[in-house]
């Protein structure tokens, strides 16, 4: 890792530590089928209750710390997405949610970008179609540095797991 | 019956995740895991052809699984027989997109 990257990582860590127990989330749907939204809404249900972690949804991007983007980044939605991102004060976190946003479902064409990171810089990727509320919660906790990434260690090889 | 007694009897239903594991994700659709010793190049090609979202492809002697593209539809599970099973993994969030690309060696240990 170069000196620049190390400093950037350290700065990001310290900035994001501010959000550890108080995070306001703005969601943006860039043309998803609304199942990701349905799972995101479930986070505020009594069972998952994300308020217990100090996380809140806010309708105003100017009050938000984190932008939660779902959908395949429809080109017609670019101005709204970029305006929302600009309205969020620095430091801000962008989380891409779902297989569409990660480039799994739609290819790039004249209507969609196919993935969110073609439009805005993404800090954390949350896979799933849709990601379950706990997968989203894990993604948010990874984004603010309260949990470590676990996907590094997963091999998706049953033979190795049987051996271990 | 007094409604709050019903609530008190049920206790706290809110999930304790992440402090404790949560059973609510058990049995949900999840990306596949593979028996690398049972994989062959021919089977890997068939799995890649069956994948509707292009999450599986064969790259030489490896099967590449893109967790970001996987929708957990389970079609590889139908094609792959004993070589494929749902992984049950859900804590897949990653800071780097390339972390989500998993390489599974084909026919390892033979």
Q: What is the pTM for the complete model shown?
A: 0.90
Among B32, B93, B108, the strongest candidate for a mutation testing the A interface, having the largest count of A CBs within 10 A, is B93
Domains along the sequence of chain A with CATH = 3-163 (3.40.50.12280)
> pLDDT by residue (tens digit) across A43-93?
999 999 999 999 999 999 999 999 999 999 999 999 999 999 999 998 899
The verdict on ipTM greater than 0.90 is no
**Higher pLDDT pick, A13 / A128:** A128
Domain boundaries, chain B: 29-105
Query: What is the average pLDDT value for chain A, to the nearest integer?
Result: 90
Residue in B with minimal Cα distance to A114: B69
Residues of chain A contacting B105 with CB distance shorter than 8 Å = 157
Contact A23, A140 (CB under 8 A): yes
Residues of chain B contacting A144 with CB distance shorter than 8 Å = none
With 80 as the cut, is the pLDDT of residue B67 above it?
Answer: yes
For the domain with range B29-105, which CATH number is right: 1.10.3720.10, 3.40.50.2300, 3.30.70.3270, 3.30.70.260? 3.30.70.3270
């Amino acid at each position: 890792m170069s000196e620049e990257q190390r400093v950037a990582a350290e700065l990001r860590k310290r900035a994001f530590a501010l959000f550890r127990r108080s995070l306001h989330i703005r969601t943006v749907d860039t043309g998803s089928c609304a199942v990701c939204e349905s799972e995101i809404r479930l986070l505020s249900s009594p069972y998952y209750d994300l308020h217990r972690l100090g996380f809140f949804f806010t309708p105003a991007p100017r009050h938000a710390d984190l932008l939660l983007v779902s959908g395949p980044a429809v080109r017609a939605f670019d101005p709204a997405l970029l305006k929302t991102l600009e309205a969020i004060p620095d430091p801000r976190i962008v989380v891409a949610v779902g297989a569409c946003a990660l480039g799994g479902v739609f290819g790039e064409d004249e209507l969609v970008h196919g993935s969110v990171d073609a439009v805005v810089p993404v800090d954390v990727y949350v896979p799933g179609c849709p990601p379950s509320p706990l997968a989203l919660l894990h993604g948010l906790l990874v984004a603010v540095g309260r949990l470590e990434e676990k996907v590094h260690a997963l091999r998706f090889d049953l033979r190795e797991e049987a051996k271990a | 019956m007094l409604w709050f007694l019903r609530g008190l009897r049920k206790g706290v239903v809110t999930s304790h995740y992440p402090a404790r594991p949560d059973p609510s994700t058990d049995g949900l659709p999840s990306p596949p895991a593979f028996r690398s010793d049972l994989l062959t190049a021919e089977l890997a090609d068939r799995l890649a052809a069956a994948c509707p979202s292009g999450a599986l492809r064969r790259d030489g002697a490896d099967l590449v699984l893109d967790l970001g593209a996987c929708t957990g539809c389970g079609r590889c599970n139908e094609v792959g027989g004993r070589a494929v099973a749902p992984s049950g993994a859900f804590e897949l969030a990653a800071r780097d997109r390339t972390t989500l690309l998993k390489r599974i060696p084909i026919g390892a240990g033979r």
